[in-house]
Amino acid sequence: MKKKQNIIDTATKLFSRQGFDGTTTLQIAREAGVTEPLIYYHFEGKDDLFTRIIENSFNTYFDRLKSLPAETTTQFEKIENLVALHFRFVREMPDEIYLAFSTCPAKLKDKSHVCSKKLEKQRKWLGTYLSSCLSTGIAGNEFHSVQIKETVSLLYALILGIVRQRGLHLNMLKGMSGTTIEFCRRSLVK
Amino acid sequence: MKKKQNIIDTATKLFSRQGFDGTTTLQIAREAGVTEPLIYYHFEGKDDLFTRIIENSFNTYFDRLKSLPAETTTQFEKIENLVALHFRFVREMPDEIYLAFSTCPAKLKDKSHVCSKKLEKQRKWLGTYLSSCLSTGIAGNEFHSVQIKETVSLLYALILGIVRQRGLHLNMLKGMSGTTIEFCRRSLVK
Amino acid sequence: MKKKQNIIDTATKLFSRQGFDGTTTLQIAREAGVTEPLIYYHFEGKDDLFTRIIENSFNTYFDRLKSLPAETTTQFEKIENLVALHFRFVREMPDEIYLAFSTCPAKLKDKSHVCSKKLEKQRKWLGTYLSSCLSTGIAGNEFHSVQIKETVSLLYALILGIVRQRGLHLNMLKGMSGTTIEFCRRSLVK
Amino acid sequence: MKKKQNIIDTATKLFSRQGFDGTTTLQIAREAGVTEPLIYYHFEGKDDLFTRIIENSFNTYFDRLKSLPAETTTQFEKIENLVALHFRFVREMPDEIYLAFSTCPAKLKDKSHVCSKKLEKQRKWLGTYLSSCLSTGIAGNEFHSVQIKETVSLLYALILGIVRQRGLHLNMLKGMSGTTIEFCRRSLVK
DNA sequence: CATGAATGAGATTTCATTCAT
DNA sequence: GATGAATGAAATCTCATTCAT
């Protein structure tokens, strides 16, 4: 069973760095220290392996989202928590979150594919979370009265950009988290 | 000659949507309304076609960057111009700028590849531009005294996120440009 | 285009002698004097190649069936013609008719597969032809009053057995045709 | 021990319906409710399993043939007995007799393989039995003076066709047995 | 007896690329 | 310029078989 996990770990790394089509099963097998057919023993095929990894990544991600505190004294704390969560995730599981924000583009053509569905769910979740934050914050006079839809897209873009940036290392990320939160705070909070 | 352009246009679209490895020469040929050998008549191969497209995309991009006004009354105008430029680019040439921000991940392993070099150049250019803006703005008491390196990364992430967001349509993009600029202004300008 | 025909001919021979699953694409390619990918250039895959061959075989077979004289002085002539037709077919295109009577058993599980449909059509055609012969012949006092359904099955079995017998060579087949027809005549005709 | 029989039964069914090459050891294991290695515990391999089944089927078949009454008042009774025997066999053990008449075509290339030998033996046995019947019957003025070799082949074809016809159900088979015997009687007996 | 895990050999298929015209 | 036919190399996947337990 150690070998199955090896396959998953190696594949996660390779898929997130080279893309689905840029990674061969032979490469996965070699780097995982197994033979190719073992991949087919544990998974139905390359597609299935990929799908499982995407599901795993999204599930871990959604679990973290769900554990965000529902009650906060200010609305901005919610945004702060969300941004901090993503920075932490990028530090701890950069490959997984990268995949959760950039699943195989070719697979997104099929709207019924797991990739499409999970990505859709993610977008909706973040959209709802941020919209609710913003409108409550504006109504409660905590926030400037920004355009909600546009600001949601902007914040989503910011998070996406953070997750996608490869080559940012630990030290940098730590500093960025605070800087980013303050950046948002000055923009939003009155 | 119309056919050569067809090939380039189709390939640009497909590469940006399915990635380099996810796109086959046959697919390009079919969608461009030509046969495969014609691709080899006009280009040295799939790699060459890709490289040309990447170069084109980056060159157009760099041309625009260079045409940004060098002198502005405030430093924030520079940032405003930069953000507005990217929004305009996304509206006008979404596939090209997408490629300029997300070239083939597999090819980036080779640091001497055109993709790596152009991306490096892009990062440096934006880094320099933003750093200079920020430090001058802070020195001139125009901006809050933010951490420069981290804020540069943050702004780069924001731009990257905007470019990567597929499925944002014209109306949305127009509104977002102003919202984003105001968002940044409130964060930065005293 | 000669090579495409080579593939078809070789595949027909091999499929009919070793079965679908017992024949590899490499074997077909080698014996046809081509490389494996050429099979995939001309056909969608091994399945498609097989299907085309089955269709061809059945089409040739049905064409011959349709060219049987519709009007005969006696009903037995119809049976005679049918039996003679099969013997001629076995002599001229043994592989094709073998396939038309014994398409890939595994494929017959799928009732919507070409194999199933053509075989069904064949059974119906022969069943209708023979039933009509027999009932007319019995009504017209030409034939003994045999049980129709059972006799149809019996004659179908006889034809099937003739087609399936490998290793019967020309001389033998020629003699058998007449012997078989006389055998049937003595059984049926009063 | 029940499991070993399960394997044999399942394999017999599958081999006779999908052919040797169209049946995988995994499929046999699954349908028999065991795991693959158990097949290798009880048999030397897939080939061995197949060979045993073929041998069993032929042995059962030959046992029945040998139990045919050696002495009969007429020669036609011998033919009647033979035809009836096959119909009974088809009703009772359709898969086994199917295999005895249609062993793996690929294996028949090897003349020293059990399949080839048993099939050869079967052909010889039936050939001898029928030839002797016919010549005795003709000499004794019981039969029309038909061509012996050809008629033997014809009767073999008839039996083969009956055995090969899948999808004939019980009721039909019962009726066919009598009809077939009468058909032959009218043809042969003066 | 029995199995989960694993593999070597090979089958099917894809794809960038080239050749002959 | 342009194409239909063809291919070498490699990718995905299957399968009979074995090993460790």
pLDDT single digits (tens) A125-154: 999 999 999 999 999 999 999 999 999 999
Q: What is the mean pLDDT of residues A166-185?
A: 90
- Count of beta carbons in the 10 Å neighbourhood of residue B11: 26
- Do A164 and B157 count as a contact with CB atoms less than 8 A apart? yes
- Do C146 and D179 count as a contact with CB atoms less than 8 A apart? yes
- Do A22 and B154 count as a contact with CB atoms less than 8 A apart? no
Rounded CA-CA distance C32/C17 in Å is 15
Rounded CA-CA distance B182/C43 in Å is 60
- Do C179 and D150 count as a contact with CB atoms less than 8 A apart? yes
Average confidence score pLDDT of chain D = 94
DSSP-derived secondary structure letter, D113 = S
Rounded CA-CA distance B56/B43 in Å is 14
- Do D156 and C157 count as a contact with CB atoms less than 8 A apart? no
**Which of A21, A149, A179 lies nearest to residue B22, judging by beta carbons?**
A21
CATH topology of domain B1-43: Arc Repressor Mutant, subunit A (1.10.10)
- Do B186 and A154 count as a contact with CB atoms less than 8 A apart? no
Q: How far is the CA of C26 from the C1' of E11 (A)?
A: 8
Cβ neighbours of A160 in B, within 8 Å: 160-161, 164-165
Tokens 């249609």, located at residue: D102
The pLDDT of residue A158 is: 97
Between chain A and chain B, the number of residue pairs with CB atoms below 8 A apart is 126
List the one residue out of A127, A132, A176, A174 whose CA is nearest residue A154: A127
- Do D165 and C160 count as a contact with CB atoms less than 8 A apart? yes
DSSP-derived secondary structure letter, B145 = -
Residue A132: HSE in the Cβ half-sphere, 13 Å Cα cutoff: 11
Name which of A144, A154, A172 to mutate to probe chain B: the one with the most chain B Cβ atoms within 10 A of its Cβ. Answer: A154
Is 80 exceeded by the pLDDT of residue B74? yes
Average confidence score pLDDT of chain A = 94
List the one residue out of B128, B136, B151 whose CA is nearest residue B77: B136
For the segment B11-43, what is each residue's pLDDT rounded down to a tens digit?
A: 999 999 999 999 999 999 999 999 999 999 999
- Do D179 and C151 count as a contact with CB atoms less than 8 A apart? yes
- Band of residue C179 on the pLDDT scale cut at 50, 70, 90: very high
DSSP-derived secondary structure letter, D109 = G
Is 90 exceeded by the pLDDT of residue D174? no
Q: What is the mean pLDDT of residues A43-50?
A: 96
The pLDDT of residue C110 is: 84
- Do C106 and D22 count as a contact with CB atoms less than 8 A apart? yes
Both tokens assigned to D32: 């028999």
The pLDDT of residue D129 is: 96
The pLDDT of residue D102 is: 87
3-state SS, residue B68: coil
Is 80 exceeded by the pLDDT of residue D36? yes
For the segment C68-127, what is each residue's pLDDT rounded down to a tens digit?
A: 999 999 999 999 999 999 999 999 999 999 999 987 878 888 888 888 899 999 999 999
- Count of beta carbons in the 10 Å neighbourhood of residue B31: 16
The region, left, alpha or beta by phi > 0 then psi within -120 to 50, assigned to residue A110 is: beta
- Band of residue D42 on the pLDDT scale cut at 50, 70, 90: very high
- Do D175 and C149 count as a contact with CB atoms less than 8 A apart? yes
**Which of A151, A160, A176 lies nearest to residue B183, judging by beta carbons?**
A151
**Which of C17, C175, C179 lies nearest to residue D105, judging by beta carbons?**
C17
Name which of B150, B182, B187 to mutate to probe chain A: the one with the most chain A Cβ atoms within 10 A of its Cβ. Answer: B150
Q: How far is the CA of A39 from the C1' of F12 (A)?
A: 11
- Band of residue A102 on the pLDDT scale cut at 50, 70, 90: confident
- Count of beta carbons in the 10 Å neighbourhood of residue A63: 9
For the segment D66-82, what is each residue's pLDDT rounded down to a tens digit?
A: 999 999 999 999 999 99
The CATH H-level superfamily of D54-188 is Tetracycline Repressor, domain 2 (1.10.357.10)
- Percent of chain D clearing pLDDT 90 (strictly above): 83
DSSP letters spanning chain A: -HHHHHHHHHHHHHHHHH-STT--HHHHHHHHTS-HHHHHHHSSSHHHHHHHHHHHHHHHHHHHHHTS-S--SSHHHHHHHHHHHHHHHHHH-HHHHHHHHS--GGGGGSTTSHHHHHHHHHHHHHHHHHHHHHHHHHHTTSB----HHHHHHHHHHHHHHHHH-TT--HHHHHHHHHHHHHHHHHHHB-
Name which of D24, D104, D115, D154 to mutate to probe chain C: the one with the most chain C Cβ atoms within 10 A of its Cβ. Answer: D154
Is B54-188 the same fold as B1-43? no
D–B contact: 3+ Cβ pairs < 8 A: no
**Residue A181 phi/psi, 5° resolution?**
-60, -45
Residue nearest to nucleotide E19 (CA to C1'): B37
Cβ neighbours of A147 in B, within 8 Å: 175, 179
Shortest distance between the Cα of A150 and any Cα of chain B, in A, equals 5
- Band of residue C133 on the pLDDT scale cut at 50, 70, 90: very high
- Count of beta carbons in the 10 Å neighbourhood of residue D170: 8
Task: Parse chain B into domains and list their residue ranges.
Answer: 1-43, 54-188
Counting every residue written for chain A, the total comes to: 190
Q: Is the pTM of this model over 0.75?
A: yes
Partners for A (CB, 8 Å, 3+ pairs)?
Answer: B
- Percent of chain D clearing pLDDT 70 (strictly above): 99
Contacts of D2 (CB under 8 A, 6+ apart): none
The pLDDT of residue D135 is: 96
- Do C149 and D172 count as a contact with CB atoms less than 8 A apart? yes
Q: What is the mean pLDDT of residues C133-160?
A: 96
Contacts of C1 (CB under 8 A, 6+ apart): none
Q: What is the mean pLDDT of residues D39-44?
A: 96
Partners for D (CB, 8 Å, 3+ pairs)?
Answer: C
Q: What is the mean pLDDT of residues B62-78?
A: 95
Rounded CA-CA distance C74/A94 in Å is 86
Residue A57, exposed/middle/buried by CB under 10 A (0-12, 13-18, 19+)?
buried
The pLDDT of residue A77 is: 97
DSSP-derived secondary structure letter, D169 = -
Nearest CA in chain C to D107: C18
Q: How far is the CA of B26 from the C1' of E15 (A)?
A: 9
Both tokens assigned to B74: 């405030």
Both tokens assigned to B190: 């005293």
Shortest distance between the Cα of D56 and any Cα of chain C, in A, equals 22
F chain positions with any atom within 7 Å of a protein CB: 1-20
3-state SS, residue D79: helix
3-state SS, residue C9: helix
Q: How far is the CA of D97 from the C1' of E9 (A)?
A: 34
Q: How far is the CA of B25 from the C1' of E17 (A)?
A: 10
Long-range contacts of A114-120 (CB under 8 A, 24+ apart): A114/A51, A114/A54, A114/A55, A115/A51, A115/A54, A118/A54, A118/A55, A118/A58
Rounded CA-CA distance B149/B130 in Å is 9
Contacts of B66 (CB under 8 A, 6+ apart): none
Residue C55: HSE in the Cβ half-sphere, 13 Å Cα cutoff: 9
Both tokens assigned to C93: 């295109």
The pLDDT of residue B33 is: 96
Q: How far is the CA of C100 from the C1' of F5 (A)?
A: 31
Q: What is the mean pLDDT of residues D82-97?
A: 96
The pLDDT of residue A12 is: 97
Inter-CA distances, B85 with B65, C31, C156, Å:
8, 63, 80
B–A contact: 3+ Cβ pairs < 8 A: yes
Which nucleotide comes closest to D1 if you measure CA to C1'? E1
Is 80 exceeded by the pLDDT of residue D156? yes
Q: How far is the CA of C29 from the C1' of E13 (A)?
A: 14
Nearest CA in chain D to C174: D150
Is 90 exceeded by the pLDDT of residue D109? no
List the one residue out of B6, B8, B93, B13 whose CA is nearest residue B51: B8
Residue nearest to nucleotide E6 (CA to C1'): A38
3-state SS, residue B143: strand
Q: Which residues of A touch B (CB under 8 A)?
A: 17-22, 102, 104-106, 144, 146-147, 149-151, 153-154, 156-162, 164-165, 168, 172, 175-176, 178-180, 182-184, 186-188
